[in-house]
Every structure is written in structure tokens, then in C-alpha cells.
Amino acid sequence: MLTYILRRIAATVPVMGLVALFVFSLLYIAPGDPAAIIAGDQATVQQIAHIRASLGLDRPFLVRFADWFWHVLHGDLGTSIFTNLPVLKMIEQRAPTTLSLMTITLVMSIAIAVPMGVLAAWKAGTWIDRTIMVMAVLGFSVPVFVVGYVLAYAFALQLPWFPVQGYVSLSHGFWPWLRSLILPSLTLGGIYIALIARITRATMLEVLSQDYIRTARAKGVGRREILYVHALKNAAVPIVTIIGIGFAALIGGAVVTESVFALPGIGRLTVDAILQRDYPVIQGVVLVFSFIYVLVNLVVDILYTVFDPRIRY
């Protein structure tokens, strides 16, 4: 097990290197010039060239890449062209927001979707089942931002239960923190809820048709026990899988959700950085994202062994 984990981590190193080179090259050939954005509307072409030189943006590609990569290897992601702050610090500042958002989204989605899926499977073929499943498809048919606006209008303006925007850090207390994240998490969770509900239903149906469940039923084991002890335990593996796969979608959705609810997260940091061509920030964030992605999938693989002892590495 331990050697497996170590091997997996070792295998990610070349992947991360590839990602770094890819992103760096992409930015290098992309048009858009941070110097011109800084200089503003009235700047002359000469002034822009001057700023470019002072930012070191006029050096050759390989020199810049080598310089950057050398620093990354030493744990230094560079400094933002615009704010002059260390990229690592900017990411540190933003990470708690995005991590909180994702955690609550995950917890909430599972709490809502798994019972939905179980219910649909238990009532398979009835109108309850069909209603739940149509809702699940609609969940990912409506764009995230539309869901966000509607939720904010209903539960923050018409019914003033939650704040319209902003993030309250956990250091200000659990309830204020949770309150600031409930609407964004519901918005972001739409896709997840849909995915998990469907996968739960599908696996439950399969498990429920298995012999040992039938036997248990015949023996008069209670309905609740069958559902939650026997069936759901076996459905855990595919649910965990979908969580790992859905992570990439979650990051994409977070970009939009953070904009709609004005949360200072990593998603918005990235979009702002791309629009301003703040190269060090973009590179740093993408590197961090791909690292987290790899990490999440590693955790998912490890969870397999926990839920299903038959899987061995």
C-alpha cells in the first residue's frame, strides 16, 4: 500500500512538469501584454516598452522558463506583476475560501443526493423515481450562474435568510461561515447532486437485485437495514469514483460561483489573472490546481480499498 502511494506520487512529478511547460508555452504565445494594461490608455508605445523591460518580459522564452522553473523547484512561485505580492501568499489567502466552498458543496451534495438516489431506487418505476430523475437531469442542464442568481434572489433578497455576497472566514465563527457558503454551495452543488443521485440509484438497483439482498429480504431483515447497511455500503465505491471525476467540473463551476457570490477564492483569482495577463499568478494557480487534482484522485483510489476490501494494490 505504502509503496503504491509512493509510486503514484512519483508518477505525478513528470505530469506536473509537463503541465508547467505546457502552460508556460501557452502564455508565451498568447497575445495580451501586462505592460500595456498597466500603462493604461494614455501611455505611449515607448513607455510600454520601458515597463516591459523593467518587468523582465523582454527576455527570451527559455531564459524566462528556466528562471521560473528553478524558483518553483525551490518552492517559490514568483511575485505577481500587478500587486507585487508573492504568488504563494495570494494563493494561501484565497485557498481557505475555495476549500470551504468545495467541502460544504461536497457534504451537502452527498447529504441531499444519496437519499434521493436511494429513494428513487427503492421506488423504481414509480412517479417518485421519475420525478427525481428528471430533476437530476435538469440539475446539469441549467447553467450555474442562472441557478446562482435565482437562489440569491429568493433566499437573500425576498427572504433575507442568507447574505447576497461575500465570504466570512471560519475565524469569525462556525455559523456565520456556514451561512455565507450555503447559497454558493447549493449553486455549485447542482451538478454534483444530479451526478451522485443518478449513480446512487443505478448502483442501488444493481445491488438490490443481487442474491444476498434477496435472501436478506426473504429472511425478514428490515427495509431500512437492507438499504443502508447492505446496499449502500456496496454502492460507496462508484459514488467515491464520481466524486473524484466530478472534481474537475467543480473547479470550473467554482470560477463562476465565486464571481456570482463575490467569494475571494482561487477560481476568481485565476480568471482575473488571465484577463490581466498576470503570468506568474496564472502559472502558479494552474500548477496548484493540477496538484490538487492529482491528490484528490489519489485519495479516491485509496478510499476504494477502504470501501471495498477486494481491491488491493
Residues 225-244 that bind other proteins (CB under 8 A): 238, 241-242
The three cell numbers locating residue 288:
496548484
Residues 269-308 that bind other proteins (CB under 8 A): 269-272, 274-277, 282, 285-286, 289-290, 293-294
Report the residue number, 35 or 108, with the smaller CB distance to other proteins: 35
Report the residue from 110, 124, 178, 298 that binds other proteins according to the rule CB under 8 A: 124
Report the residue number, 216 or 255, with the smaller CB distance to other proteins: 255
Report the residue number, 3 or 84, with the smaller CB distance to other proteins: 84
Report the residue from 24, 68, 77, 90 that binds other proteins according to the rule CB under 8 A: 90
Note whether 183 binds other proteins by CB under 8 A. Answer: no
Note whether 75 binds other proteins by CB under 8 A. Answer: no
Those residues with Cβ within 8 angstroms of residue 242's Cβ, 6 or more apart along the chain or in another chain:
195, 196, 199
**Residue 222 and residue 28: Cα distance in Å, rounded?**
63
Tell me if 79 sits within 8 A of 278, measured CB to CB.
Answer: no
Report the residue number, 6 or 222, with the smaller CB distance to other proteins: 6
The stretch near other proteins (CB under 8 A) out of 59-67, 89-97, 106-114, 302-310 is: 89-97
Note whether 261 binds other proteins by CB under 8 A. Answer: yes
Shortest distance, CB of residue 45 to other proteins, whole angstroms? 4
The three cell numbers locating residue 51:
515597463
Tell me if 20 sits within 8 A of 287, measured CB to CB.
Answer: yes
Residue 287, CB-side half-sphere exposure with 13 Å CA sphere? 25
Note whether 19 binds other proteins by CB under 8 A. Answer: yes
Shortest distance, CB of residue 178 to other proteins, whole angstroms? 17
**Residue 298 and residue 9: Cα distance in Å, rounded?**
8
Neighbours of 4 (CB within 10 A): 14
Note whether 171 binds other proteins by CB under 8 A. Answer: no
Note whether 119 binds other proteins by CB under 8 A. Answer: no
Report the residue from 58, 63, 83, 222 that binds other proteins according to the rule CB under 8 A: 83
Note whether 38 binds other proteins by CB under 8 A. Answer: yes
Report the residue number, 25 or 103, with the smaller CB distance to other proteins: 25
Shortest distance, CB of residue 289 to other proteins, whole angstroms? 6
Report the residue from 157, 170, 299, 311 that binds other proteins according to the rule CB under 8 A: 157
Note whether 204 binds other proteins by CB under 8 A. Answer: no
Shortest distance, CB of residue 102 to other proteins, whole angstroms? 12
Residue 106 CA, distance from chain mean position: 9
Count of positions on this chain that bind other proteins (CB under 8 A):
110
Shortest distance, CB of residue 268 to other proteins, whole angstroms? 6
Report the residue from 77, 106, 108, 152 that binds other proteins according to the rule CB under 8 A: 152
Note whether 27 binds other proteins by CB under 8 A. Answer: yes
